């Protein structure tokens, strides 16, 4: 089984590529909390993005509640846009056990408050390069390689220790919509943590810290959602590469 989390579709695509090559099945983490993994000895993969050099809140919750007997080859595949820091350290802590192998595939950036997400040429080049990285990861997983094969840790634990607390302190307060909103409800439907309801034809965010996955912002058909002052100019991105779930 390959469990994944995604906001804009990058990690879903990577998980689907692995599943296709490995004859495995994918499952969306938020739909499997708590997950109990059968004691069948089959490999267990975890594919997810890196947020503030740490792990998305739902990934942490998934890992904390996952029940396994431990008789599996386990691996993570992180999908940051630049570097992963010590995200795997946080994941293993939440899982309460070490993972056999760690991999990393660089994917296009989805952090709309700060980075241009709509540079199609740049995104296409990143996705092209990612195909090679995914092929390497597949070969290593097939060989049941062990150890840390992530070559994109950047500043490692230092980045995680300094930046991840800032992620945990973010709240839904900065979300806003403009008049382009049609009240279609897609954002509420896609939110993996049920932070959005449609109230009087407009999305309303529940108070608190959400995952900041930006599934709502990037998938909105009219680009009506902003997060802070700068996301508007950075555009939308959803992974253009799609495979069916295995």
Ligand X SMILES: Cc1cc2nc3c(=O)[nH]c(=O)nc-3n(C[C@H](O)[C@H](O)[C@H](O)COP(=O)(O)O)c2cc1C
Question: What is the binding site for ligand X (CB under 6 A)?
Answer: 6-11, 49-53, 79-83, 107-111, 212-214, 239
Q: Using CB under 6 A as the criterion, what x/- string covers residues 206-235 for binding ligand SF4?
A: ----xxxxxxx---xxx-xx----------
Q: How buried is residue 70: exposed, middle or buried, by Cβ count under 10 Å (0-12/13-18/19+)?
A: exposed
* Closer residue to ligand SF4, CB minimum distance, 55 or 99: 55
Q: Which of residues 166-205 bind ligand SF4 (CB under 6 A)?
A: 177, 181-187, 190-193, 195-196, 203, 205
Angle at 209 between CA 204 and CA 213, to 5 degrees: 80
Nearest residue to ligand X by CB is 80
**CA neighbor of 154 nearest in space, from 94, 86, 245:** 86
What, of ligand X, ligand SF4, none, does residue 95 touch, CB below 5 to 8 Å by kind?
none
**CA neighbor of 37 nearest in space, from 89, 95, 79, 94:** 95
Give me the least distance between CB of 108 and ligand X, in Å please.
6
**What six digits make up the tokens of 18?**
């692995």
Q: How many helices (H) and strands (E) does the chain have?
A: 8, 10
* Closer residue to ligand SF4, CB minimum distance, 58 or 106: 58
* Closer residue to ligand SF4, CB minimum distance, 125 or 166: 166
Give me the least distance between CB of 133 and ligand X, in Å please.
12
Contact assessment for residue 113 and residue 226, using Cβ atoms and an 8 Å cutoff: no
């Amino acid at each position: 089984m390959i469990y994944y989390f995604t906001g804009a579709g990058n990690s879903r695509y990577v998980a689907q590529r692995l599943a296709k090559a490995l004859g495995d099945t994918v499952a969306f983490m938020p739909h499997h909390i708590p997950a109990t993994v059968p004691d069948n000895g089959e490999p267990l993969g975890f594919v997810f993005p890196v947020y503030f050099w740490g792990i998305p809140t739902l990934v942490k919750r998934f890992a904390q509640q996952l029940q396994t007997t431990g008789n599996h080859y386990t691996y993570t595949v992180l999908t940051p846009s630049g570097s992963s820091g010590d995200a795997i350290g946080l994941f293993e802590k939440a899982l309460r056990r070490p993972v056999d192998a760690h991999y990393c595939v660089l994917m296009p950036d989805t952090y709309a408050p700060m980075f241009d997400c709509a540079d199609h040429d740049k995104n296409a080049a990143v996705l092209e390069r990612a195909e090679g990285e995914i092929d390497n990861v597949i070969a290593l997983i097939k060989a049941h390689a062990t150890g840390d094969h992530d070559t994109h840790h950047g500043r490692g634990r230092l980045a995680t220790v300094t930046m991840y607390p800032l992620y945990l302190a973010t709240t839904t307060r900065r979300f806003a919509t403009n008049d382009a909103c049609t009240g279609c409800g897609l954002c509420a439907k896609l939110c993996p943590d049920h932070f959005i309801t449609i109230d009087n034809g407009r999305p309303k965010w529940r108070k608190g810290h959400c995952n900041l996955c930006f599934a709502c912002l990037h998938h909105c058909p009219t680009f009506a959602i902003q997060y802070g002052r700068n996301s508007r100019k950075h555009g939308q991105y959803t992974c253009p590469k799609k495979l069916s779930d295995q």
